[in-house]
Chain A
Amino acid sequence: DTAVSQTPKYLVTQMGNDKSIKCEQNLGHDTMYWYKQDSKKFLKIMFSYNNKELIINETVPNRFSPKSPDKAHLNLHINSLELGDSAVYFCASSYIEGYNEQFFGPGTRLTVL
């Protein structure tokens, strides 16, 4: 059983295009996150959503927009893609209370040409 899934796993696109990455979790968690891992493997939080409400939004360009149709899904939309957006994007989920162990999806490798 897949706990946190992302589609697609690989995405290659041209500069200027708009793309989306989908994330779904079947763990019953109430909070979901998006992280970006750059070419040097550095992981940084981009967004988190709790009960369909944006909780944090780090210094991310407004070309990136998270969309959560329900608490099991958190999609990432990226407009006007730039070369610097090339990275691996991870979705994660957790409960808001307690340990808040975050379960990660398999990641989506985005390559912008």
Chain B
Amino acid sequence: AQTVTQSQPEMSVQEAETVTLSCTYDTSESDYYLFWYKQPPSRQMILVIRQEAYKQQNATENRFSVNFQKAAKSFSLKISDSQLGDAAMYFCAYRTISGGGADGLTFGKGTHLIIQP
């Protein structure tokens, strides 16, 4: 079974600065999807960014980018120019491609991101 580890329970960053959230995972599969979800205090789960394992190029979405290191099984999220609205829980998630595609996501335990004004 796959596991996802987020080693930083909490991170704090000054507004406008850059922060990197760590995520590692364990799998024996060669192809899979990785995601970062954001959960603000409203508790709504919001997709931030996604990465296909077969793509070497790191995904980017505006101020959000990932550093995907497949051999190291690492998938970190970088947030540039942090804004107050970025304050939330951030979850790293893994989805297998095998099994017909209806598998659920395997989540890490989350990182609580605090933005200091």
Interface of B is mostly: loop
Q: Which of A43-71 contact B (CB under 8 A)?
A: 43-45, 48, 50, 55-56, 58
Count residues on chain B whose CB falls below 8 Å from chain A CBs.
24
A33-B104, A41-B89 as given contacts; A100 in contact with B95, CB under 8 Å: yes
The 5 closest A-B pairs by CB, nearest first: A45-B104, A104-B45, A55-B102, A96-B101, A43-B107
Listed in ascending order, the chain A residues whose CB lies under 8 Å from chain B are 31, 33, 35, 40-45, 48, 50, 55-56, 58, 88, 90, 92, 96-104, 106-107
Listed in ascending order, the chain B residues whose CB lies under 8 Å from chain A are 33, 35, 39, 42-45, 47, 50, 52, 89, 91, 95, 99-107, 109-110
8 new A-B contacts at CB < 8 Å, known A55-B103, A106-B42? A43-B107, A56-B103, A58-B104, A99-B50, A100-B33, A101-B47, A102-B47, A104-B44
